Every structure is written in structure tokens, then in C-alpha cells.
Structure 1
Amino acid sequence: MIFQKSMRYGYLLTGILSGTLMVGYAQEEAQKDGRPATIDSIDVVRDYRPILADAVKIRQSPDMTNKRQYQPELTYNILDKKLDINTGTKRLTIQEMPFSRTQTLTNNYAKIGAGNLGTLLGEVYLSSDYWVDTRLGGYVKHLNQQGTIEEQKFSSQQIGVFGRTVLGPVTLDGEVGFNRYGTRFYGTVADLDGASLNASPAKQAFNDIYFTGELTSNYDEGASDAFSYSLKADAYSYSNAYDTKESSFALAGYINKQINVFNVGANISGDFTSVKDAAYSLGNHIGRINPYIRFQGPNYNITLGANFVAEFGDSSRTNIFPSAEVDFALIPQFAHIFGGINGDVNRTSVKELTKENPWLAALGTDNYIRNSVDRMYVFGGIKGNAGATFGYKVKAFYRRIESMPFYAIAPGTPYAFNLIYEDGDNASTIVGLEGELNVRISEVVTVGGRLNFNEFDLQQQEEAWYMPKMRLAANARFNISDKLYVDGELLFQGQTYGLVNDAGVGLGDYAITEIGDAGARKVTIPSFADLSAGAEYRATDRIGIYVRLNNMLGNDYERYLFYPRLGLNVIGGINFSF
């Protein structure tokens, strides 16, 4: 009994000591945490759920990239041994298959045709691609026509040989040929009494022997500091039926060094031209140096430089012009804005003038050659595309130009033209707008066009003679099927003006305005539209049949005064590919 009571007192004493120790330990822990030790009661109202507070949640996504710090170099030892199995089998042989093409490719063709107005056409084009890196070829063309007006005749012949070869780091190409164009001074001009002033239209013919060659470095995509260059040579001998001769030899080249995002280079050229006529001769030579630096990035291209131009020969003059351009991708691949400012000397050549107007009179004291000068040419616009189906370009420009050449009826020979120049103390100005558009509507229809607006502010001349303020050229092509193709062209030119200084020339129904005190008259040449269309049917892979209609509206319009163009003319024939 006494032992049991002692045991109870022992248990009680042990419990009191244990409680005292636990309270002391709790107070010691509370003191370690910096918080006071308290005794609170705890009421359990729900099951325990381990929820992290927002403050301890991880806010960073894990990096799932598996990066290997060390890439071991593995080696393989592959035994090149023949496995012999004595089962009667033998090595399989490759069965050669005959080569076949899905489409017959041809490099050569011949075309013949005929039509009304005495039209005859013949063409032959030959080209060889026997060598992978070399191409050689040549061509011969002939066309002649005769209009309804007396001696309204035209003929054209072309012969040429060309070649191109890739020689390692450079590409060499060139062409040599002969062009001839023949016509007559068929201008329908009369005096004040109605009598013809051109009773016997004289013949005119232009012969052009030419050569062109170029050596160009090939582009290396892997070179970050590429050095590129080019050298080009051009030469021609040009003459007409009246002993007017023009010979020219020109050398041009460029060098360019790429340094990171910079390109440093220069364009250099020399043009040596001589003109001779029965009573006229001229040495007209021009040298140019255009150094530049270009900053180029993925969405921009900025070029800064200068253009040094020296004229020498019978007269000498030196000019320095600014040269700067910028191209910025407003919306890459869809819209680029561009702009620039520059200037230059424009060589006036007999060859280019007579290609534009073949009825130029003989050169002399009153009909001479002079270069024009672009004192300032400022331009800007926007261009871009939407894939391969839509492309556009719109450009506005402002030009200050000196000695601009125009054509005027020659006194005494009103069926021929003289050159007159826009002279004055100040340069004349041209403000213009150009637009281009190319659209592939579908796999069947493709259309395109170009529109030009020009506004002239001249110092001396009354008008910009024979230069339209508006000009539109449009084209369309329709692939009706794999064998049938149809195309069309439209040319529209706005109203122009011609100058007549000969008081003895009758102007009939032309709208005229008296200008000046010397009896000069301004003649209004109406606007015109020229619509043409053609079709081709591929009868076989090698033979095609074609037809073409020119001036379908049948307008006897005039590009130059007294020289109406051909009316409706039709030509058709066959072509053969081989």
C-alpha cells in the first residue's frame, strides 16, 4: 500500500519535472527566434492542407535547355571487309534507265511572217549551251513596211554575235553586231498655196557597227569583306546617208570594298566621241569620277558621295555634283521608301537623237551638238511588292536642267528638223511623277503599266517641243491554255506642240498660235492612243502560229509634225524552235 502510494508520488513528480523541462525548452527556442514565448490554446477546425503562401512561390519558369558542357570527340573504326556467303548469289548490277525530259528544251528558233502594207519579217536566233559555263550565239533580223503615203517606207536589219563565259572568279561577256535602219523624208508638207514642198522624198539610212564587252567579278556570299570590280568597254561607228559620222569609244568601271556594314568604292568612266559632217566637226569627250561610301544594313541602305564630271575636246568645262541616295524598309519586303539627290552631264549624241527622230537635218552652224547639264536632280518615292504577284513603284522628282535639246522644223527644208536648245541665265525646271505597276492576277492573266506626268517651266522656249506632259504605256498577257497565248499593248500620249519658224509653210487644219515677232508659230499636235494585240498558238512543241495587229484603232496620228504613222497593219506567220 505504502509502495503503491510512493509510486504515484513518483509518477507525479516525474510528470511535473518533465513539464517544467518542456516549458523551459520552448522558452529557449522562442528566445532563439527573437519572439516572446507565450502559451496559447489551439483549436483544430479543419484537416491540415499544405498550401504555400504567394511569397514563397517560384515565379521563374524552369530552363529546359539541355546544355552539354563537354562534347566528346567520337571516333569510329569501320572495317571495310567483304562478306562472303557461299549461297550461289552474286553482286547486283545497276540497270541503266533511258534519260527522258518532261519538256523539250530548245535554244534556237526561226520566225517568218508577212502582212499588209508590204510587211515582210524574218528572224533567226541561234544559241549553244554545250558547255556548262559558256554560252555562244547569234541572231539575224529583217523587217520592212510601206505605208499608204508616197515613199512612206521603213526597213530594219540587225546582225549580232554574242558570248558569255565564267572564268573562276570573273565573268566575261560581249557582243559585236551591225544595225541598219532605212526610211525616207516622206513628210507631207505644203506651202501657203497648197503645193508640195517635198515632191521627191529623199532617202535616209543609218548604219551602226558596235561592240560591247564587260569583265565582272563574281559575287562571293561567304566573304564578309568582299572586293568587287567591273570593267566595261563600248565602241561604235555610226553614219547616215548624208556623210554624218559619229564614232565613240568608252571605258567604264567600278571598284567596291566591303568592310562590315560599310562599302567604299568609286565609279570611273571616260567617253571619247567625235562627230563629223560635211560642214561640221566636234570633239565631245566626258570623264567622270564618282567616289562613294555606303552604309548597308538589313533594312536600310545609305550612299554618300560626289560626282566629278569634266568635259573636254573642242570645249572644256568641269562640274562637281552631290551624289546621295537612301533606301529604307518601311515594311520589309512590302514597302521601301527611297530618295536621293545628284547631278550629271548628259551627252547629246547623233545616234540617240536619230533613234528618237530619224528625220534630223544635216549638222552645221545652225544645227549643232551641245550637252545638257542636270544641275540638280532630286527624287523620292515608295516601292515594294507583295510576293511574286504584285509590284509597284511611285517616284516624284524635281530637275533643274540647262541646255535641254528640242526639235524644230528646219527653215528652207520643212520636212527635216533642227536642234534648238533651252538657253537662259537660269536653269529650266521639270517637276514630274512616275508610276509603275505589275500584277499577276492569276496563272492566266498578267498586267503591267507605266505612267508619266511632267510639268515644264522653261526660260526661253514657249513649250517643251514634242515632249508630252502625260504618257501611258500598258500591257497585258493572257495564258488561255498551254498552247494559246494572247497579249496586248496600249500607248497613250498627251497633247504636244511643234515649232515652225518658216513663214512660207502652210499648216492647213492644224491648230496654230502666233508667237514672237518673227512669224514663229506654235502648232498643236493632238493626243493619240495606239492599241496593239497579238496571239500565238503552239501547234506542236516546236511549231507555232502567230498573228499581230498594230494600231488597231487605225489612227493616222503624228509623233512629229508632218509625219503621220502607219495605220492598221497586220502581220502573221509561223515560228519554229529547234
Structure 2
Amino acid sequence: MILRKSMRRGYVLTGVLSVMFTAGYAQEEEKRDGRPAATIDSIEVVRDYRPILADAVKIRRSPDMSSKRQYQPKLTYDILDRKLDINTGTKRLTIQEMPFSRTHELTNNYVKIGAGNLGTLLGEVYLTSDYYVDTRLGGFVKHLNQQGTLEAQRFSSQQIGVFGRTIYGPVTLDGELGFNRYGTRFYGPVSDTDGNSLNLDPARQAFNDIYFTGELTSNHDEQATDAFSYSLKGDAYLYSNIYETKENSIALAGYLNKQVNVFNVGANISGDFTTVKDAGYSLANHIAKVNPYIRFQGANYNITLGANFVAEFGDSSRTNIFPSAEIDFALIPKYAHLFGGISGDVNRTSVKALTQENPWLAALGTENDIRNSVDRMHVFGGIKGNAGATFGYKVRAFYRRVESLPFYAVSPETPYAFRMIYEAGDEASTIVGLEGELNVRVSEVVSLGGKLNLNEFDLQQEEEAWFMPKMRLAANARFNISDKLYIDGELLFQGQTYGLVSDERINLSDYSIVEMGGPELRKVTIPAFADLSAGAEYRATDRIGVYVRLNNMLGAAYERYLFYPRLGLNVIGGVNFSF
């Protein structure tokens, strides 16, 4: 009871105090605002409610409603390469070597065999190894023989070689060692004015070539502004025929180039040591060249200025200094470049180069020696460019002043063979020419290409540039009919040339001739010719294919050199196997 009375007294006291506090607060508000305090029964509206924020909390930019991140932090990690130490007494794990296995099936090796009319036999084997990413090794063997309709018109060719390439740190090494053999006969049908043959027993001829070539080239970043590049190349060969002619050559060449911002400073250096021997004839023909230069290179231009120092020594000596300058300017970058230059040089005349062009040269002698030709001035210029990977072109015009141009002429002693004669005179002869080259990929199915050469000769001594054409056109086409069938074609056209005959015994009634200084010296016209060839290949499987090729489809027995008609229509077909 006492407790209940006490609680009721507390409630009453609390209520009285609350009324007194509320009345006091209302009086203070009335005094402060100057208006009566608000009551529950009435509310006085003074103005509409408008919330106002202070300047300190205002946002002075419009909100971005996109959900993109305004800032992407760049994170870096510092990962320490540390070996985990295990102190449990267990043995450290070692890498288990696995046997080598190919990741894919290689198909860069092939075997090719074929046969055709005119006694044609063909065989090729090509092997290469790509087991290592930075090293490539391989070898090849080739054989081809043919026989024409004329007596002793026979040809045979054999090639065998090994090659290798490796990238070793900052340098790349390339090398090849091989042997080439080419055999033929002096089959030219030559008769005298009475109809008697002047080539009763066509002699055999064969050329053997043992060669080696190697190169060491630096690897560098072409985009670097301070790159240093260099190269060293070596070539050597032993060349001979079945008689007594031998030519041995060792050549070393290299270049150094240092790039400094937009400048390139460097030099090309070479030395060629060649010895020619024949019955009663020997010649040491050595040439050393030094070509220092400085190149200015920009985004759309390339200018090279330098000089070419050439020294000939051996059995005879001569020194020449020629200018060397080139310019390349991007008229329309990637589409049209203007280029031009001026230079001079000494061109080595070698038995190997001559006989590869004309294998019916007579034995060398005192009247058939070796002389180097000299380009006193070579000025050239033109335009080149491309449109992506589907169209490329180049047009080049040139002017050359040349001393001691080499020509072929029929030998008086052996009219079925040729000898060398050289353009001589107090002044150098001139050659004005135009070259054009075009490559077009019409579509993924058709690709076309061609090259045109036009030359005009102004000689000081000789009547004509013997056996050198003024016009030559080579064109090719390829058609990818499907993934399995390919067709290609080639066209070679050469304008008329002229040959020199200095033996009045020879019957030339089948040729157009002009007498020069008497009946013993005659100019013979060799007609123009066209040689059309075509071939097709069908891939029966991924590894096996069959092919057929037709050469000289027009069947013309044309002559590149006097008295030596080429083979007529010849067909060859066979099978190739890749693995």
C-alpha cells in the first residue's frame, strides 16, 4: 500500500513539473519572435517552404549518370624470385627431361620426279630441318637432262648443296656449300659455201663449279635512333671446264653503319681476288673497293652522299674515284616514291659469268682475254610505289657511259664457238635505257607480273652491240583455281639482235646479212622470238601432287646465239611428294 501511494505521488509531481516547463518555454518563444506561440488548435502560414543550402555544401558540377570509372589506377607488382627452402630433409625437386616431340607435322621436305619428250628426265630432293626455332639446316639434290632433234644437241645439269642459318644472340649466320655441273656440246650446225659441215665432230663441254658462301649479319632494332649495324660476307668458288680453263675466286665484303638520330654514317668495303688460267694464258684480276657515305633520313626522304674508291691490281693496276649519291623522296607516302642517283664502278668480267650466259665460248687465249668494264658515269631516276599487297610498280630510266663493253663474236678458227671482243675507243660508249616492272594481284585467284627492258646503244668502235637485245619483255601469271589446282604461265619476248661473223667460208644464206669492210666481216640479223610456257599442278592429297609443264609452246626453233637453235616444244610431267 505504502509503495502504491508513493508511485501515485511521483506521477502527479511529474505531470505538474511538465506543465510548468512547457508554459515557460512558450513564453520565451513569444518574447523572442514577437508573436504568440503556436498552439495545437491553430497554425499561421507565413510563406511557402523552400529549402536553402549553404554555399559550403553545394555541388558545383552536373552529375555524370554513366557508370564508367573516372580513374584507372596503374598497378605495379614487385615479385621476388626466391627459392623456397624446405628444411624437412626432403630432396630438392629436379626437372624431368621429356623426349622431344613435334608440335605439328612438318611438310617443308619434298621429292619430285618427272619425265617427258626429248629424253627429258627430272629429279629433285629437298630436305630441311626446323627442329629448333633459331636454327635451320638443309640440303638439296637436283638433276635434269634433255636431248634435242639436232645431232649432239644435249644438255644436262646437276646440283647438290647443303645450307644452314642460325640466330645466335646479336648476330645471324648464313652459309651454303655446293657443287654445280652443266654439260652440253658444241652442236652448232655450221657449213661452208659448198655445203660441207665445218663442225664434223661436235665437241663436249662441261663446267664444274664448287662454291661456298657465308654471311654474318648483326641483329638490331631498325626503329632505334642510335643503332649500330654491321655485316661480313665471304664468297669463294673453283670454276673449270673439261679443257684447261680454270678460274678461282675469293671475295670478302662487309659494311659498317652507325645511326645517330636522322643521320647514318658508314662504309661498304670489299676485296675480290680472282685468278684465271688457260693453256698459255694466266691472269690475276683483283679489285678492292671502299665506299664511305653519310645518309640523311627523315619520315619522307632519304639522301645518301658518298664516294666510291676502286683499285684494280694484279697483272695490271688502275685506280678510279667515282661519285656516289642517291635520293628517295615520298611524293605520296607508300604509294609513290621518286628516286634517283649518280654513281660509277668497275665491273669485273669473269669466266664464270660469261660461260653461264653463253656456254659455247672457245678456249681462252691471247686474243680472248679478260678485261673489266668501267662505268664512268651511271645516272638513273624514276618512280616506284605500291597500293597495299595487291599492286606494285617501278619505272626507272638510266644513262651510262661505259668503257670496254664485252661482246661475243663467232671465232674465225672454230666457227661453231665464240670469242670475246671489247668495245674500244678514245671515248666511252653510252647506253640509254628504260626499265619497267609491275606486279598485280587481281584477286586471290589471279596474280600477274612483268618486266620490260629497253636499251639504245651509241658505240664508238663496234657497229652493233653484238647479241645484246634492245628490247626484252618477261611476263608471268598464276591462277589459283582452287585449293588443289594451280596454273601458271610465262612469256619471254626478245627483239632482234645482231651477230658478227669474220670468216668468209661460213654459209649464211639462211640469214639476213650486211657486209662490213669486205666479205670476211659480216653483220648477221637474228630475228626476234617469243617463248611461251605454261604449267599446272593438282594436289591429290596434302602430301602428293601431280604436275605437267609445257615449254616453248609455240614450237619455234629460235636462236639466242648464232647457229644454236633452242629446243622446240617439250613437255614434262611427274609427281611430287612432300613430307
Structure 2, unaligned runs of 5 or more: 1-70, 80-100
Partner residue, 2:37: none
Aligned to 2:418: 417
1:354 aligns with 2:355: yes
Q: Compute the displacement of 1:282 (Å).
A: 0.1
Could you tell me which amino acid in structure 1 is paired with residue 174 of structure 2? D
**Partner SS, residue 352 of structure 2:** helix
| Structure 2 partner of 1:282 | 283
Mapped pair 1:305 → 2:311? no
Residue 400 (structure 1) aligned with residue 407 (structure 2): no
Q: Aligned residue for 2:54? A: none
Instruction: Give 1:366 shift.
Output: 1.1
Q: State the Cα deviation string for residues 500-541 of structure 1 (Å, max 9, x = none).
A: 001111112100000124720000000000000000000000
CA distance in 2, matches of 1:561, 1:576: 41
CA–CA distance in structure 2, aligned partners of residues 391 and 473 of structure 1: 16
Structure 1 residue 220 displacement after superposition: 1.8
Q: Deviations over 1:218-276 (max 9, x none)?
A: 02245320100000000000000111000000000000000000000000000000000
Assess if the C-alpha contact under 8 Å between 1:113 and 1:121 holds in 2.
Answer: yes
Q: Which runs of 4+ in 1 moved over 4 A?
A: 70-78
2:270 corresponding residue in structure 1? 269
Once residues 72 and 473 of structure 2 are traced to their aligned partners in structure 1, the CA distance between those partners, rounded to angstroms, is 66
SS for the counterpart of 1:505 is coil
Residue-by-residue CA offset, 1:250-306 (whole Å, 9 max, x unaligned):
000000000000000000000000000011100000000000000001100000000
Structure 1 CA distance for aligned equivalents of residues 486 and 128 of structure 2: 24
Which amino acid letter does the alignment assign opposite residue 470 of structure 1? M
Q: Given residue 358 of structure 1, which amino acid in structure 2 is its aligned partner?
A: P
Task: Look up the match of 1:338.
Answer: 339
Q: Deviations over 1:448-492 (max 9, x none)?
A: 000000000000000000000000000000000000000000000
Partner of 1:546: 547
Structure 2 Cα separation of the partners of residues 522 and 222 of structure 1: 57
| 1:461 has 2:433 as partner | no
- TM-score by structure 2 length? 0.83
AA partner of residue 134 (structure 1):
T
- Could you say which residue in structure 2 is the equivalent of 1:28? none
Q: Please tell me the residue identity of whatever aligns with 1:236.
A: Y
**What is residue 566 of structure 1 aligned with on the other side?**
567
Query: What letter corresponds to residue 354 of structure 1 in structure 2?
Result: T
Closer/same/farther in 2, CA of residues 72 and 548 from structure 1, 3 Å limit: closer
CA distance 1:73–1:469, change in 2 (3 Å): closer
Identity %: 82
1:196 lines up with 2:231 in the alignment: no
SS at match of 1:268: strand
1:218 and 2:211 aligned: no
Q: Name the SS for the 1:354 alignment partner.
A: helix
Q: Which residue in 1 is equivalent to 2:139?
A: 138
Alignment of 1:90-489 (within 5 A): 105-221=106-222, 223-489=224-490
Q: TM-score, normalized by length of structure 1?
A: 0.83
2 CA distance for matches of 1:511 and 1:223?
A: 62
Contact 1:104–1:541, Cα closer than 8 Å, also in 2 = no
Q: Using a 3 Å threshold, how does the CA distance of structure 1 residues 71 and 550 change in structure 2: closer, same or farther?
A: closer
Q: Is the 8 A contact 1:408 1:417 kept in 2?
A: yes
In structure 2, do the counterparts of structure 1 residues 258 and 198 end up closer, same or farther at CA, with 3 Å as the change threshold? Answer: same
Q: Distance in 2 between matches of 1:179 and 1:361?
A: 21
C-alpha separation in 2, matches of 1:149 and 1:240: 23
Q: 1:128 to 1:513 in 2, by over 3 A?
A: same
SS in 1 for 2:538: strand
1:257–1:523 CA distance, 2 compared to 1 (3 A): same
Distance in 1, Cα, partners of 2:322 & 2:504? 43
1:414 is paired with a residue of what secondary structure? coil
In the alignment, the residues of structure 2 paired with residue 440 and residue 292 of structure 1 have an alpha-carbon distance, to the nearest angstrom, of 37
SS at 1:137's partner residue? Answer: strand
Q: Secondary structure, in 3 states, of the residue corresponding to 1:289?
A: strand
Deviation by residue 1:133-162 (Cα, 9 ceiling, x = unmatched): 000000000000000000000000000000
Deviation string 1:158-178 (CA, Å, 9 cap, x unpaired) is 000000000010000100000
Give the letter aligned to residue 178 of structure 1.
F
- Give 2:166's aligned amino acid: T
Q: Distance in 2 between matches of 1:260 and 1:228?
A: 14
